[in-house]
Amino acid sequence: RFPMALVVPSHADYQLFTLLQSYSGCPVVSLDVNASVSAPELRIGESESNDSDGNVIRGRGAALRYLASQSPRAEQLLGGTNEARCKIAEILSLAGRGIWTGRVLDGDVAALDGWLARRTYVAGGELSVADLVLFVGLSGVVGSFPVAQHGHFCNVLRWYENVWFLVGGEAEGFVDVAR
């Protein structure tokens, strides 16, 4: 394994990568927030030079995939089937849009609720990096649901609480919706 440093542009990214690291054992030497970067930047190796040597991975999805691939839980996090890998890729491609910028609509949550009606996890039969992305991205929204919405989004709430439990959400500072 190589020394790694990750610079992220926001607190939400910091939460996501911290959660990935703590849940999966992904190796990250340092993790810093710097609002001047537009997307996460993962520097691999000891080089402080620019990325002309190919040691910088840019983008949330690319950095998540790389770090997850270095984890002892790589197959689980990245999907054990083609269907799971495709769904994870779809979620990672969406991670830079609505859910990540705080523009989550009821229709988005309703679509996820429908998707989760017969599933425990977003992609495949185990917790994946897609679940972690959605968990962090939706934590503020799910935590602020009025009681009246709990019945409308029961599958999202069940999924959220399950992920919360598995990743140690209380220790990580995420809202427990079961309370």
* pLDDT per residue rounded down to tens, the chain (179 residues): 457 899 999 888 899 999 999 899 887 768 999 999 988 999 987 655 555 556 899 988 899 999 999 999 999 999 999 999 999 998 888 766 545 555 566 677 888 899 999 999 999 899 999 999 999 888 888 878 777 677 788 999 999 999 999 998 777 778 888 76
Starting at the earlier edge strand, list the strands of the sheet with 56-58: 30-33, 4-8, 41-44, 56-58
Main-chain phi, psi angles of 30, to 5 degrees:
-145, 155
SS3 30: strand
Q: What is the pTM of this model?
A: 0.88
**Residue whose token pair is 């689980």:** 76
Rounded distance between C-alpha atoms, residue 101 and residue 121, angstroms: 23
